[in-house]
Chain A
């Protein structure tokens, strides 16, 4: 499956007292990767709102493999799994650009709500159409879930 790639450079304020990136920043970087991917397909939060939906995060996981130091370049690779239910699941990988080592891997799940708070159990047709270019790009298809 294809992925979208965003580059980050570790800032001084992102390392902890041991001189390595504080773990919480990876989640913020994953968010940078997610927004960069979604921006390409007009699927930013305001686009969801415009269509009458919200997509809150309900699950977030991260595992940490290697530390990164200040000023190192980090690649954030983001992809979305083909939906098997009415939810969007993103996968993230943070790699050190210099040697390609995996620093952290993450997964995030968003569900779909209407603006009045009704949770959708099936992806509505208008949203399926809107999501299709994203999955075409990633080599996936939007299922009927």
Chain B
């Protein structure tokens, strides 16, 4: 899994959700983003979906897909790599 994409996604999560006391190092690649992990909730997911669409042009239509994609930063990175149509702006660079 490309490390720079992982780091980029962690920064995007922190910036989008204004997690001021969290650094990328605090977020585990395999750690849960929701619930007991990073503690994100369904409204955070909505914000992330908008940011991901803007940066990587990936569409996450609903929570059924979201549950799979937002399991961890690693699963999110995998989804971005497989679905980004942003001309591979960042995802391809990282692959």
B41 nearest CB neighbor, chain A only? A58
B52 nearest CB neighbor, chain A only? A121
Contact of A118 among B46, B60, B63 (CB under 8 A): B63
Using a CB–CB cutoff of 8 Å, the interface residues on chain A facing chain B are: 58-59, 84-87, 109, 111, 114, 118-122, 145
Q: How far is the CA of A86 from the CA of B42 in the complex (A)?
A: 11
Question: Does B19 interact with chain A (Cβ within 8 Å)?
Answer: no
- Given A58-B42, A119-B42, the answer on whether A85 and B50 have CB atoms closer than 8 Å is yes
Q: Which residues of B contact A84 (CB under 8 A)?
A: 50
Question: Tally of A-B residue pairs with Cβ under 8 A?
Answer: 43
- List 18 other contacts, CB 8 Å, given A119-B63, A121-B46, A121-B49: A58-B42, A58-B43, A59-B43, A85-B46, A85-B49, A86-B46, A109-B43, A111-B42, A111-B46, A114-B62, A118-B64, A119-B62, A120-B63, A121-B60, A121-B62, A121-B66, A122-B49, A145-B50
Question: Does B4 interact with chain A (Cβ within 8 Å)?
Answer: no
A124 nearest CB neighbor, chain B only? B61
Question: Does B59 interact with chain A (Cβ within 8 Å)?
Answer: yes
Q: How far is the CA of A86 from the CA of B45 in the complex (A)?
A: 10
